[in-house]
Structure 1
Amino acid sequence: MKTIVLTGGGTTGHVSVNLTLIPHLLERGWNIHYIGSKGGIEESLVSKFKEVKYHAISTGKLRRYWSKENLKDMFRVGKGIFQAKKIFKQVKPNIVFSKGGFVSVPVVLAAKWSKVPIITHESDMTPGLANKIGLPFATKICYTFEDTKKHVPEEKGLFLGAVVRDELFKGSRDKGFELTGFSATKPVILVTGGSQGANSINGFIRGQLDELLKTFQIIHLCGKNKKESRLEDREGYLQYEYVTDELPHLYAISDLVITRAGSNTIFELLALRKPMVLVPLPDTQSRGDQLQNADYFKRQGYAEVIKDEKLKGREAVEVIKGAFSNRFDYVEEMRKQAVQNPTDKLLSLIEDYKKS
């Protein structure tokens, strides 16, 4: 039986492509193992696939600044490499597919030393730290933005485009209105700050709720343990900590989406033709990848952008209202971009590079 090891975690974005691949790999007869961190978001997301064997290993956080924890994490990564090599010896994988995130580093290193082919996938315009570490060891490096070409070895790179989950195209407006209890006669904004939520976005939405609710109904994906109990019964405002199966239906009724600028999310919205207001993570909280993503989408005419530090008061509200008023212009630009879901291309690549 063909065996694949998937890895990637820390955020939903480092798991989503794997979640897209799993059903297709199962249909094609692959035996699937997933290596992630203990208690990480990847463990909970992968758990719905009973056919997939999950292995938790030791991992270390990848920091871009000096900390004494870096020394401890070197030992954690070393332990993770040993654990991953032990797993490889047991399951004998044909190939490893890595989506990135700190958990992928020991897996990729163990795969190289175990002589297992490695395919990595980079969603952002420039490779993240985990994928940078893995570049020398990867057999093939797939990427989402064409501009990423200059950041990866030419002989290894492959422009793939965005892998979008099939289920997102199956949303039902009727189901969406049934889930929310919202009216079909008033526009809907969906707000999300990612799986962990975003404090700045949450604070802005709640601080300007009275003004926003005059025009919109709001679905607010606020993050784990970040609901406001005092707003639970507010008409036209619905809070979720996090959604999975409901998301396609919530997208289906949304006229505008306010979100961070993680590449997986914004390319999903592009494929769904959903106008966006992007609030990228500032470079004080990230390596600047979301700022690059947001700038690219604005230049293409797909989205409006509000810098995180500008997300306050009536000025930001007016930007959101303006984006809603111009929503058809964004959709028109999105229609010029053919919907490409390169899942089959990625699956064929996996088949081609499997270890004989």
Structure 2
Amino acid sequence: MKKIVLTGGGSAGHVMPNLALVPELRRRNWDIAYIGSYNGIERELVEKTNIPYYKVSTGKLRRYFSMKNLTDPLLVIQGLFQATLLLRRLKPDIVFSKGGFVSVPVVIGAWINRIPVILHESDMTPGLANKISLPFATKICATFPETLEHLPEGKGVLTGNPVRSQLFTGSREEGLALCNFTSRKPVLLVMGGSLGSVKINNLVRAILPELLRRFQVVHICGKGNIDPGLEKLSGYKQFEFVSDELPSIMAAADICISRAGANAIFELLALKKPALLIPLSKQASRGDQILNARSFEKQGYSMVLQEEEASEKILLEKINQLYEKRSQYIKAMEKSQLNDATRLILDLIEHTAKKK
């Protein structure tokens, strides 16, 4: 049986694309193991899947000054020794890395053991971990066409972002029932990322009277962001967070408001949901969401509103425009070549492993 080691962590965004590959890897009879950190979010997420999980030491790679920059390199070196010995014992045919600081010692350890490595980069430009790992990788999967410009010639492969297969199992009827909605009025889904967005939450709630004339609104607002005063408002349903219910809620949605993280927008693309993207500002991030949103806007998949430009009036206008033009966005998404990322990545994994 062929064996693969998955790695990546530090945030859910560095884990979920790995887990999206698991059902197809199992269908193709791959033996799967995961290498992550001792206490990162990847441990919690992976252990739920019954995939063997192995731990290595790791230090965070920071672009800013911190006293931990003096000690964390020692943890990275320790992790490198651990990963090298662990991979020598596991003897995988290939390593697939989603990035994040835990992946660096694993990628270098694989290179030392002459195990081929495929990286995956979700954002427009490579993150710091993937930049460090690039010289040790055989190939790197790019999510956006523009990303190929930032990669060494011959290493980049345009695949898109793998999407969880569970998302395609949703039922519109179940989604409407979960929200106590009717089928006679369109549904607007509002998502502000895993932690929610105070600005998006406040703007949406400020224009609820106008929105509810035309839409039913399901609002995933983040932990601790439920407004008790709106709990009984007809046509408006709040959730702090959804997991198992998400496929059906997304199936019920006609249009969406979302941040522009790569995982979120590729799920919208896969489900062909017209969206108004409000990316995190440069003050709150390295600007990757702005670039992600710009690419989707250029390809005709989504409408974009910069956070700094968002006001109650403009947001309401954009939502109405999105709904009126929803069919043109759906047509563009139907023509996309980036909807089959899982197959493309698995084919690349198998081809690269055979050449070992």
TM-score by length of 1: 0.90
Following TM superposition, by how much is the alpha carbon of 1:99 offset from its aligned partner in structure 2, in angstroms? 1.0
3-state SS in 1 of match to 2:243? coil
- The equivalent of 1:197 in structure 2 is 196
- The equivalent of 1:25 in structure 2 is 25
Following TM superposition, by how much is the alpha carbon of 1:8 offset from its aligned partner in structure 2, in angstroms? 1.7
Distance 1:320 1:216 in 2: 10
3-state SS in 1 of match to 2:279? coil
Contact 1:123/1:144 (<8 A) preserved? yes
Distance 2:228 2:108 in 1: 46
- The equivalent of 2:71 in structure 1 is 72
Of residues 263-272 and 124-133 in structure 1, the stretch that sits farther from structure 2 once superposed is 263-272
- The equivalent of 2:271 in structure 1 is 272
Tell me which amino acid in the other structure corresponds to 2:44.
S
Contact 2:160/2:338 (<8 A) preserved? no
Distance 1:75 1:202 in 2: 42
- The equivalent of 1:8 in structure 2 is 8
Distance 1:53 1:226 in 2: 36
- The equivalent of 1:331 in structure 2 is 330
Alpha-carbon RMSD across the aligned residues, in angstroms, is 2.3
Cα-to-partner distance string for 1:1-41 (whole Å, 9 max, x where unaligned):
43211112233332222112111222222221112234433
Call closer, same or farther: CA 1:13–1:110 in 2, change over 3 Å: same
Residue correspondence of structure 1 range 1-356 to structure 2 within 5 A? 1-50=1-50, 52-338=51-337, 340-354=339-353
How many residues were matched structurally? 355
Contact 1:218/1:237 (<8 A) preserved? yes
Distance 2:273 2:324 in 1: 13
Structure 2 residue runs of 5 or longer lacking an equivalent are none
Following TM superposition, by how much is the alpha carbon of 1:338 offset from its aligned partner in structure 2, in angstroms? 4.9
Instruction: Please identify runs of 4+ aligned residues in structure 1 that moved more than 4 A.
Output: none
Distance 1:143 1:95 in 2: 18
Following TM superposition, by how much is the alpha carbon of 1:208 offset from its aligned partner in structure 2, in angstroms? 3.5
Tell me which amino acid in the other structure corresponds to 1:42.
E
Distance 1:339 1:132 in 2: 23
Contact 2:124/2:292 (<8 A) preserved? yes
Following TM superposition, by how much is the alpha carbon of 1:141 offset from its aligned partner in structure 2, in angstroms? 1.0
Following TM superposition, by how much is the alpha carbon of 1:89 offset from its aligned partner in structure 2, in angstroms? 3.5
Tell me which amino acid in the other structure corresponds to 2:99.
G
3-state SS in 1 of match to 2:242? coil
Following TM superposition, by how much is the alpha carbon of 1:157 offset from its aligned partner in structure 2, in angstroms? 1.8
Call closer, same or farther: CA 1:163–1:250 in 2, change over 3 Å: same
Distance 1:37 1:226 in 2: 30
Tell me which amino acid in the other structure corresponds to 2:34.
Y
Tell me which amino acid in the other structure corresponds to 1:67.
S
Percent of residue pairs bearing the same amino acid type: 52
Distance 1:89 1:239 in 2: 49
Contact 1:20/1:164 (<8 A) preserved? yes
Cα-to-partner distance string for 1:279-322 (whole Å, 9 max, x where unaligned):
11112222222111111222222222111122332222222222
Contact 1:260/1:279 (<8 A) preserved? yes
Following TM superposition, by how much is the alpha carbon of 1:125 offset from its aligned partner in structure 2, in angstroms? 2.0
Cα-to-partner distance string for 1:242-282 (whole Å, 9 max, x where unaligned):
33332221111101111111222212212222111001111
3-state SS in 2 of match to 1:214? helix
Tell me which amino acid in the other structure corresponds to 1:93.
P
Tell me which amino acid in the other structure corresponds to 1:58.
S
Contact 1:11/1:195 (<8 A) preserved? no
Contact 2:274/2:329 (<8 A) preserved? yes
Following TM superposition, by how much is the alpha carbon of 1:225 offset from its aligned partner in structure 2, in angstroms? 4.0
Cα-to-partner distance string for 1:179-216 (whole Å, 9 max, x where unaligned):
22211112211111222323332333334334433332
Call closer, same or farther: CA 1:71–1:205 in 2, change over 3 Å: farther
Call closer, same or farther: CA 1:60–1:201 in 2, change over 3 Å: farther
Call closer, same or farther: CA 1:208–1:346 in 2, change over 3 Å: same
Following TM superposition, by how much is the alpha carbon of 1:339 offset from its aligned partner in structure 2, in angstroms? 6.4
Distance 2:154 2:302 in 1: 33
Contact 2:231/2:238 (<8 A) preserved? yes
Contact 1:310/1:316 (<8 A) preserved? no
